[in-house]
Structure 1
Amino acid sequence: PRQYNGVKLVGEGALPLSGERGMPELARRVLDLDGSPDSTTLALRAASGREASSSEEIDLYPAYVRHLLRFAEPERWPAFRVVMDAANGVAGKLAPPLFDQTPVRRVEMYFAVDGTFPHHEPNPLLEENREELVRRVLAEKADVGVAWDGDADRCFFIDETGQFVPGDFVTALLAQALLARQPGAAILYDLRASRAVPDAIRASGGVPLVNRVGHAFFKQRMRREPVLFGGEVSGHYYFRDNYNADSGFLPALLMFDLLASKRATLAELLEPLRARYFISGEINSTVEDVEAVFRRLRERFADGEITELDGVSVDYEHWHFNVRASNTEPLVRLNLGADRGDLMEEKRDAVLSVIREGA
């Protein structure tokens, strides 16, 4: 949403600056510009040969495009027809120089950067923001639809039949593509995901590692452990060889690589996942007492395997769920998966009734 638009600040090694790390030092250095510089600022000036307030304009697009293309083999792709929705965000600036280096025939939607987002909110997780892209994919008889959020660090896919691809299915496919290159690697996934993700990782010879939700927890763990790739159902995908940072463009490149190598459509690749894994999507419930909800869940589902890595997760043989609290609102969020569609609906309703009891 436009009211939450802003600028990301990162330090060396793509580590995000936060109130605890980096921002206090940055604030001190900015204040030094108006007063007497301290020894650190003087040393920086001496090392750089510039005044602290100097500026320089550098075009990083060519170098960044070369970096991204190292992950893919576009020379092996057919001329995929792809509808791309940049949602008037920054993807509209980078997609042309990147995909101009590939055989992709792109159909552009809202590539003009406009922070008022006049056509739709730049959040493809919401169905209403994907409706026009779906119609365009079908009308153009495209192979794939790709959508980005406003800052283009998240990537989403529509298959050739117009169906949205959930983030855990994307994680499973990307893990398959990457493990074909580096067998035995560890892959990180978030605890909201369906069993499609760990099952696909194991089937491809990898090691699945479950993790807490959130980019900070993914990046920290990927710096501590030898993890090749991490995926969140929210559309964030992290790559060891991209400074452990997320990227909205690498998933698209890797997906096109996978489609080319398998000589299959996206819907064909998804068919075995859609036939075996049935997911609720994230369902929000407003509650007055989060801890009371967690307590009821632990009591009512005590016969399942309960873990509390992030909220309450319960696993049964044929179904599983996680309920987490929102960090900013009086909400809990349910994600549930099952190995049959009717079972998913039955258990979704049962868990929601416990969550909303007394509401």
Structure 2
Amino acid sequence: MRTRESVTAVIKAYDVRGIVGVELDADFIRETGAAFARLMRSEGEDTVAIGHDMRDSSPGLAQAFAEGAIAQGLNVVHIGLASTDGLYFASGTLNCAGAMFTASHNPAEYNGIKLCRKGARPVGQETGLATIIDDLVNGVPDYDGEKGSLSEKDLLGAYAAYLNELVDLSDIRPLKVAVDAANGMGGFTVPEVFKGLPLEIEPLYFELDGSFPNHEANPLEPANLVDLQKFVVETGADIGLAFDGDADRCFVVDENGDPVSPSAVCAIVAERYLEQKPGSTVIHNLITSKSVPEVIAENGGTAVRTRVGHSFIKNEMANHGAVFGGEHSAHYYFTEFFNADSGILAAMHVLAALGGQDQPLSEMMAQYNRYAASGELNSRLANAEAQAERTQAVLDAFADRTESIDRLDGVTVELTGTPAWFNVRASNTEPLLRLNVEAPSQEEVDALVEEILGIIRA
């Protein structure tokens, strides 16, 4: 028996994540595999594909999960080393459930699981994780039926071929592309996906190493982009790409070494889809720039705003029949990729746009950079009570300047007399209060950030 507190500390809003040997171990993961198998069997499913990243703990945890699933009658197809979108490809093409062992951008001591149903459909708190939590707390009942089977399948080549069918890069102008894999799974997938294309790849940190010896695999943090920014300029690259640990996110750097806003990437990919499929729906989360819905509307599309998090975005993609979805955290979702997110597929769209015209990346993207933004700023607070109290303090301080308040995810405050806005929300995965600010100028952004953080961190 496990306490509900210990289980919910690891099973978050849309995945499983914790410190190996402290919050999760092989026994916990084995039981989680058993509980997931029970859930899948109750829905008539009989197979799960399992993949894992390059962390030292990942193969053993994946094996433990497989043991739990097999004991509960679920067949296991082990695809071995994979990016998270490689696992989604397996789930989509094999038409089976999936379990990806990764802690994404978290430090080396962490690991976790991203779970999905067949067709890469998400398993979140309201769509299965709560049931798994109950089983782990109450004890997973023994299964007296026939045990499942174990098989192995190498899907890397098929995954690369599939992506190249979705975005044809064979006829673009030659590009020099600097890629920082951060010792993560991008070093595994990029060589295969870009093989034979008119791309000269300049690799940085392609060696698979779950200890992340060069920098954390979290390009959302500016410090982790510095090496790529320098590398782009040193190599004379046309573009730089930075992947997180499991390569489901991709950040872009222009030829000058300057970061390209993920919202600008959302906008240009949305524009490409709306050229191909006029009048379509595009999803964006609530912390993307206002430029994203503006571009969608200007190109005849329908913008649908949603809360932050991959399970929420994927559900909205399906509910609205959307062709594309984007988050400011650099997760990008594609209808023809099972409504799932893929960092490298987003990169391929940017490469196709860049290589299909003659402007440098900085000039091509300028039209999508309409506002200044703070990026996501995190404040560690003691508990949910403290987060709620500080959030209310911010609302009180801005009461006389507030045009509207939206509570879709945290609080989004539109300010009176200006396009400026800010969002304050609790993290779904860490004990953090997150702040995002956007305004017409960097000076306005800086002033708002200083005032709001002064209240949150008081």
Does TM, scored on the shorter chain, surpass 0.5? yes
- Between the aligned partners of 1:88 and 1:286, the Cα distance in structure 2 is 27
Matched, 1:300 2:407: no
- Between the aligned partners of 1:273 and 1:12, the Cα distance in structure 2 is 36
- Between the aligned partners of 2:143 and 2:372, the Cα distance in structure 1 is 62
- Between the aligned partners of 1:17 and 1:334, the Cα distance in structure 2 is 27
Deviates more, 1:57-66 or 1:89-98: 57-66
Preserved contact between residue 124 and residue 311 of structure 2 (Cα < 8 Å): no
Secondary structure at the counterpart of residue 2 of structure 1: coil
Matched, 1:240 2:339: no
Taking structure 2 as the reference length, what is the TM-score of the superposition? 0.69
Report the equivalent of 2:119.
Answer: 13
Report the equivalent of 1:44.
Answer: none
- Between the aligned partners of 2:343 and 2:148, the Cα distance in structure 1 is 33
- Between the aligned partners of 1:201 and 1:284, the Cα distance in structure 2 is 29
1:320-331 to 2 correspondences below 5 Å: 320-331=421-432
Report the equivalent of 2:323.
Answer: 228
Report the equivalent of 1:144.
Answer: 239
Report the equivalent of 1:319.
Answer: 420
Preserved contact between residue 122 and residue 129 of structure 1 (Cα < 8 Å): yes
TM-aligned CA deviation for residue 301 of structure 1: 2.9
Secondary structure at the counterpart of residue 421 of structure 2: strand
Matched, 1:280 2:374: yes
TM-aligned CA deviation for residue 262 of structure 1: 3.6
Matched, 1:335 2:436: yes
Preserved contact between residue 89 and residue 115 of structure 1 (Cα < 8 Å): yes
Matched, 1:193 2:288: yes
Report the equivalent of 2:182.
Answer: 87
Cα shift readout 1:56-111 (whole Å, capped 9, x = no counterpart): x3221222112111221212211100011111111111111110131111011122
Deviates more, 1:58-67 or 1:225-234: 58-67
Report the equivalent of 2:52.
Answer: none
- Between the aligned partners of 1:350 and 1:248, the Cα distance in structure 2 is 34
Of 124, 148, 173, 1:52 maps to 148
Of 282, 291, 309, 1:214 maps to 309
- Between the aligned partners of 1:287 and 1:123, the Cα distance in structure 2 is 21
| Cα distance change of structure 1 residues 159 and 36 upon mapping to structure 2, 3 Å threshold | closer
| Cα distance change of structure 1 residues 18 and 313 upon mapping to structure 2, 3 Å threshold | closer
What percentage of residue pairs aligned between the two structures are identical? 38
1:246-261 to 2 correspondences below 5 Å: 246-261=341-356
Q: Which runs of 5+ in 2 are unaligned?
A: 1-106
TM-aligned CA deviation for residue 261 of structure 1: 2.8
Q: Which amino acid aligns with 1:147?
A: A
- Between the aligned partners of 1:133 and 1:156, the Cα distance in structure 2 is 10
| Cα distance change of structure 1 residues 118 and 295 upon mapping to structure 2, 3 Å threshold | closer
Q: Which amino acid aligns with 1:199?
A: E
TM-aligned CA deviation for residue 178 of structure 1: 1.6
Matched, 1:98 2:205: no
- Between the aligned partners of 2:360 and 2:331, the Cα distance in structure 1 is 23
TM-aligned CA deviation for residue 174 of structure 1: 1.3
Of 232, 254, 260, 1:159 maps to 254
Cα shift readout 1:267-290 (whole Å, capped 9, x = no counterpart): 01222334x311011122344622
Of 168, 171, 178, 2:263 maps to 168
Preserved contact between residue 84 and residue 146 of structure 1 (Cα < 8 Å): yes
- Between the aligned partners of 2:248 and 2:322, the Cα distance in structure 1 is 19
Report the equivalent of 1:48.
Answer: none
| Cα distance change of structure 1 residues 328 and 15 upon mapping to structure 2, 3 Å threshold | closer
- Between the aligned partners of 1:103 and 1:254, the Cα distance in structure 2 is 15
Preserved contact between residue 268 and residue 368 of structure 2 (Cα < 8 Å): no
- Between the aligned partners of 2:192 and 2:379, the Cα distance in structure 1 is 43
TM-aligned CA deviation for residue 329 of structure 1: 4.7
- Between the aligned partners of 1:328 and 1:225, the Cα distance in structure 2 is 26
Secondary structure at the counterpart of residue 292 of structure 2: helix
Secondary structure at the counterpart of residue 162 of structure 2: helix
Q: Name the count of aligned residue pairs.
A: 339
Preserved contact between residue 80 and residue 143 of structure 1 (Cα < 8 Å): yes
| Cα distance change of structure 1 residues 138 and 7 upon mapping to structure 2, 3 Å threshold | same
- Between the aligned partners of 1:294 and 1:90, the Cα distance in structure 2 is 37
Secondary structure at the counterpart of residue 323 of structure 2: strand
| Cα distance change of structure 1 residues 59 and 328 upon mapping to structure 2, 3 Å threshold | closer
Report the equivalent of 1:74.
Answer: 169
Cα shift readout 1:291-333 (whole Å, capped 9, x = no counterpart): 2233233333333111111111111333111111223555321
Q: Which runs of 5+ in 1 are unaligned?
A: 42-50
Preserved contact between residue 191 and residue 211 of structure 1 (Cα < 8 Å): yes
TM-aligned CA deviation for residue 185 of structure 1: 1.1
- Between the aligned partners of 1:337 and 1:235, the Cα distance in structure 2 is 17
Preserved contact between residue 71 and residue 254 of structure 1 (Cα < 8 Å): no
Preserved contact between residue 155 and residue 235 of structure 1 (Cα < 8 Å): yes
